[in-house]
């Protein structure tokens, strides 16, 4: 994809992958808007960076998404790239009696309904641009689930399928649809993850990912080398082995 001269919205831009991708794209000469629920962390992302902007958004709230999309397209009429990056991940205990569904319900609203609603709200504007892109951040767990986080894994599998369908429906428009599927990365997504052994250092993930986005004909799926074991497990005929390895080794 063209890596400069864009106006990019990055949800979940207050930390982790979203923050670092936003800063990298800004450094390449793009106007970048970071969005999230916490103004303080968004302000930290953009501090000292002219051409970066922060907007609060609760992706769990349909009315707030509608409000946000209206204001965003008014304030940034050149908006042409959407990164659906915001997401939550938490463990669930399905041996509990009763099962607490609050995590699953919040995960579905945040990780599935949030990006679907936001894309729907912005898509008429994006389709009117000369070139535009929607980038959906999924996960290697879309392809081999982590049993301790079933709703998260299922939400990313759903987003993978939805991304494929969206790409097909928009194939004759100016909107390119890309999926970014990270492996386990050292971020604050879950407690202790930022220093968890065996997870990919955030700096390394960002560097390899930006190399893929720097390719003029960016792949429909951006998948760093560390994520390819999960991505190719079913096609390679070793899904059961990879599933067992992933889940037996989990120490979250």
Q: What is the DSSP string of 75-116?
A: H-TT--EEEE---------TTSSS---HHHHHHHIIIIIHHH
Tokens encoding 80: 């042409």
Look at residue 2 in the predicted model and tell me its pLDDT.
Answer: 84
Burial class (CB in 10 A: 0-12, 13-18, 19+), 249: exposed
CATH architecture of 7-248: 3-Layer(aba) Sandwich (3.40)
Ordered by start, the domain boundaries in the chain are 7-248
Look at residue 174 in the predicted model and tell me its pLDDT.
Answer: 96
Is 152 part of the annotated catalytic residue set? Answer: yes
Look at residue 252 in the predicted model and tell me its pLDDT.
Answer: 75
> Where does residue 5 fall: left (phi above 0), alpha (psi -120 to 50 degrees), or beta otherwise?
left
Please name every residue paired with 52 in a beta bridge, in sequence order, or none if there are none.
Answer: 32
pLDDT under 70 in the chain at which residues?
A: none
Q: Which of 152, 168, 199, 250 is catalytic?
A: 152
Look at residue 101 in the predicted model and tell me its pLDDT.
Answer: 98
- This prediction has a pTM of 0.96
3-class state of residue 221 by DSSP: strand
Dist. CA 209–CA 205, nearest whole Å = 6
């Amino acid at each position: 994809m063209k890596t400069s001269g864009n106006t990019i919205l990055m949800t979940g831009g207050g930390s982790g992958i979203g923050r670092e991708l936003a800063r990298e794209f800004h450094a390449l000469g793009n106007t970048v808007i970071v969005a999230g629920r916490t103004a303080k962390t968004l302000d930290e992302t953009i501090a000292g960076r002219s051409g970066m902007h922060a907007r609060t958004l609760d992706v769990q709230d349909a009315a707030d998404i509608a409000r946000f999309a209206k204001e965003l397209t008014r304030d940034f009429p050149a908006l042409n790239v959407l990164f659906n990056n915001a997401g939550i991940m938490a463990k669930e205990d399905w041996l509990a009696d009763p099962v607490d569904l609050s995590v699953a319900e919040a995960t579905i609203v945040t990780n599935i309904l949030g990006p679907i609603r936001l894309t729907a709200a912005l898509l008429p504007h994006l389709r009117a641009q000369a070139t535009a892109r929607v980038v959906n951040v999924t996960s290697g767990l879309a392809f081999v689930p982590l049993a301790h986080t079933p709703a998260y894994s299922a939400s990313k599998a759903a987003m993978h399928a939805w991304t494929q369908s969206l790409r097909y429906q928009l194939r004759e428009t100016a909107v390119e649809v890309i999926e970014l599927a990270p492996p386990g990365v050292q971020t604050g997504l879950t407690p202790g993850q930022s220093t968890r052994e065996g997870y990919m250092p955030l700096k390394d993930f960002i560097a390899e990912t930006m190399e893929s986005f720097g390719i003029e004909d960016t792949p429909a799926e951006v998948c760093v080398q560390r994520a390819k074991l999960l991505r190719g497990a079913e096609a390679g005929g070793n899904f059961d082995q990879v599933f067992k390895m992933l889940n037996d080794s989990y120490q979250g």
